[in-house]
Amino acid sequence: MRRQAREAVLRSLYRDEYLPLSADDPLGDEDLAEEAFARALLAGVHEQRAEIDRIIDQRARGWGLDRLPVVDRNILRLALYELLYTATPPEVVINEAVELAKTYGTEHAPAVINGILDRVWKERHGDAQVG
């Protein structure tokens, strides 16, 4: 159920790259069992976007934020928000992001996303084991 919510948020973030999201209904016509969770994620990503983008830009070695494919960049935005600002266990966040990357991202997205998320988590929490 939460995976569906994350997918809906990813679609909204993708659309937002090209057309501003509706303030009244940022998730569009999504029919979600976990709608409150999805809305909280989407609002959080928007609220923390400048900081999240700074983190991505610093860690996307050789790429930078603007050179990352749009879907990959938005998977990272979603996952970094959930990793840094929610109580979702890091293993769950990283696994869900990698699964989104396998389904929607580019060929190298799963490895890149896993690497960035793992690095950020370890930097913020010492060398705590993740995954």
Range of the domain at 97: 2-124
Q: Is 60 exceeded by the pLDDT of residue 131? A: no
Into how many domains does the chain fold? 1
Residue 91 resides in a domain: yes
- Backbone torsions φ then ψ of 33, nearest 5 degrees: -70, -30
What does the mean pLDDT of the chain come to?
88
Q: Which residue has the tokens 């009244």?
A: 24
Identify whether 129 is part of a domain: no
- What predicted TM-score, i.e. pTM, was given to this entire model? 0.89
Mean pLDDT, to the nearest integer, of 87-97? 96
Specify the CATH number for the domain of residue 89.
1.10.940.10
Q: What is the crossing angle of helices 49-59 and 109-124, to 10°?
A: 110
Report if residue 12 sits inside a domain: yes
Residues 34 and 2: beta-carbon distance below 8 Å: yes
